[in-house]
Structure 1
Amino acid sequence: MDWYDVKKFFRNLNRNYVLEEMREGTYNYTNFPFIFRYDKEVIGEAVKNDGSILIWASGKIKNDRDIVMTAVNSNHYAIKHASKRLQDDKEIALKAVEYGQLLKYVSKRLKNDKELVLKAIGNNSEAIRFVGNKLKNDKEFMLEAVKFNSYILEYISKKFKNDKDIIKEAFKDNSSSFKYASEELKNDKNFIIDLAKLNGNILEVLNDKMKNDPEIVLEAIKSTGYALNFAPNKFKDDREFILSAVKENGDILYHVSDKFKDDKDIVLEAIKNSEFALEYASYRLRSNEEFMKEAIAINKDYFTYATSQLKEQFPSFESLLNDNSESHKITSWEKEKEDLIKKIERIGRAEPEIVINEFGEGISSDYCDYKRILENLPEKFKDDKDIALEAVSKNGYAFKYFSERLQDHKDLLMVAIDNSKYYSPDTIEKCSYPLEYASNRLKDDKEVIMKAVQLSSNNLEYASNRLKNDFEIVMEAVKNDGSTLTFAGNKIKDNKEIVVEAVRNNSSSFKYASPNLQGDKEIALLSLKDSASNLKYVSEELKNDKKFILEALMENTKVYSYLPEKQKENTLSSKELIEKIIKEEYKINLFNHEYKAQENTLTNKSEKEPIKDNPWTDKVNSDKDNQWER
């Protein structure tokens, strides 16, 4: 133990000093001395800032309602250390179960209190494990509980996992909760069909037997088109099945394979019961005069979805319906499209010199492979999904050159994102992130943004404002590159856990933290440890705190170079300044320490428990000389 540790040890036994530090908010509670366990005033002050200190309090103080309530308000986990009497206090317990799992520490009586238990499981599904037997076996209560938190299904008894009413109530809120149902219900076809009518996404959690039942699959995708993604491939590739499905729910067309989006019969059936389905039909069909005539016959507003190429020939749906000539053919267009796709496939990831041979001189080797071919893409092809898919599958940056409709296509964007991670340092400045050109809807899609930031943290820049403040998204970004904190929303920049992770990953990210966290001592010291220059971003309050400057210098002596001359106090080195601050702030003479045990201050006069019974008092006195010898 060096002189600094010795000084801290004895100073921490000074009651007046400890109380003063606590009131100023500068006390380090990790060093809280056991000798104050009977001191009501010290414990009361301590739990205002750190409720966990209650663990060191005497039994009498743990039974003091005001102190325990203060402790729980400061740290919910303090309920663990309260007396049995106060663990039975409903007001204190209601505060504690804001962290639902702490229901474990309240009294048996309160574990059967309906109001308290519902609040607990509303905050944490695992709280259901600690519910009293009376409520745990009450069906009416369980029905109400799953409305509060359907995830409790994982922890309820086998009896209720086999109860159709309870399973159905939970399923209404969360389709994936069905995976916790009993094996009997998981094989009850009629019950599953009833649930599928409510939410077709049940397909995701069904066993293989039920998932391969055509009646169940059909009911599921009738209610939820997206459920087709969870169906076995044999259904996705079955033309007759898809034809039957779109007759029930035309929106399914969005989720079927491209070959069915190009199937005239399937598309016509889909648009009969969905006014938006035609949007997902293939470019070929929407450019086909005869097909569009049939579509407009169903609904004249469908002319909106005709391609720009067809609209150039027929300015209105009337002109299309009245045209009887056979001069408008798309065979030449199809040939042109086929040739273009072959060209893209051939040079998609070609070396620059091959691209030069294809298009002539003038293309710099710094250009991305696709730049010129896509910049000169005819308008009629910019809205063609087949061409777009071929292009982005070779190089995701091609996404920027296609129509707004395709830039709102999630599947296409996901392919583009997947193929945007293969770039070289020479070309990255000439390329663009595909997410930059995505629609606002997709920039607000958490699945899209999460995948994008996993591949490149810089994609956070293009996320919606809502997702720039999403904890999981931003944490994923700063884990990979702390500097991307610059793109995060202002709200999340004030989240300590996020900023600590960012600074730990890249100390320069400290400058992007909120003003509040730039004044956080822990974060500021963490940032200065690797980068002394961060001192300029530290709050003025901390910079004017000599004790903080002392800790900063002890973390990184280079901080001295960034201090204003006034704060250097005529010293010539960090070592001199450290010694000067210690002498001024802690008033310590390194060669003449005195220690006087203040036993008279360690007894709370309002209590009858004497300090002399505390074994730590004798230990402090007996170790005094040994401390100095060491």
Structure 2
Amino acid sequence: MKPNFSDVNIQYSSDHDDSNNHTIVSSSLEQLLELLKCKFRNQQFYKMKYLTNRWEFSKNDEFTPIEFMGDKEFYWIKVIIHKKYSIADSLENVNGDSNLMLQFIRECPYLLEQASYSLRNDREFIFKAIEVNYLSYNYSIFKDPILLERYLEIKNSKIDKTQPEINYKKCNDDEMILKAIESNAVVIQKAPKKFKKEKSMVLKVVSRNVKTLSYLSNQFKKDRDVIMEAINKNAYKTLEIISPFALKLMDDKDLILMAINRGEPFALRFASKRLKNDKQVVMAAIQQTGSALSEASTELQNDREIAMTAVTKTPYAYEWVSSQLRKTDRELALKAVQGDGLMISCVANTEFKLDLEIALTALSLSGRALVFTESKLRTNEEFILEAIKRNGFVLKYVVGYIPSNRISEEMILQAIYQNGFSLNYSIELLRARMNNCYPELYLPSSSPTILGN
């Protein structure tokens, strides 16, 4: 809101009017000051909103809101900080900036393919790209001898030089051998026999590198003390190596629980059938990650308490819930889509898929969930509009189910208002987004097109 300077009414009059005039001027200035304070507060609020959105959306791989398509700092944060390697929806002031693109290519070589047409066809730029990341040569349209030669020079310089061979069998320094084994389990093959034969030494060996179990005799693969020591180091890898040889240990409840409680819920994968059907063991695993439900018995996959615990912890665990529960338990279906909208693809009951609460909840989290929504809903324009109001990204998937001439202006605007998603970039849509989402934003470094008005 602009200050109304017409409110300032200064009149020159005789001395006896000075007091009244001073009061009028003072009051008007106070009003102006309050208006300026309000303006400043609003500007700061929308600036913070813009910067917060820029940070949060830069973590997103799905799309870029229209207000950030020309924002170089947005893409720098996305690529360099968040390691999200997609700039395909950026404007040319971003993907055509050679210095910025070289930073991106240093981080990820295939981003060369997403550079502007002019940069991709600039041989000098390609040479610089190979200098900062030689792997970018693989994504270049130029394959001439000079570029190939530089690529091979850099590639060969990266190859580790061969280290001098050490004769471990004649080495008397046990600690040096153990350190070598810690780096490379194969060293145990070249070490003195005691490293594979003496239990006291074997315990030290597996505590350094559990992969050495592959080179030990079956006697040690079945030795509970050795396996417990190895589990303390790496539970999953230990069980993966010994499970074919130590069936008795795979039925040892305390050992399997120990492995699970060491932060390896998928230790359940190697447990015996009896333990996969043990509710305590399975509960311990799914409380760490619900997807461990995939390793539980069919009976426990049909246990509602187990299923609800798994889905609450990890929504996509719904995929491994029994078909019986997925067909009959609405609460479980809703819980799944509340955590991951794409879980609507696993809802087995058509009635649940037509449930507006379930469908709209799914779409509010994932635009792609529209692909798995019942056709009766995804071709309903009223339903689609409501979904877009909850998640603008739904509009991307609408195109496949509603003819383009039936995609209304209101759908397009609601998507822009909701999260800035746009099928196409235009100044008009950018202005609509800025006026709706950041009506009093002032960024001195931004261009008028970014600010909208």
TM-score > 0.5, shorter chain as reference: no
- Which structure exhibits the higher relative contact order, with contacts defined as CA atoms closer than 8 Å and separated by 6 or more residues? 2
Q: Provide the TM-score with structure 1 as the length reference.
A: 0.34
Q: Provide the TM-score with structure 2 as the length reference.
A: 0.45
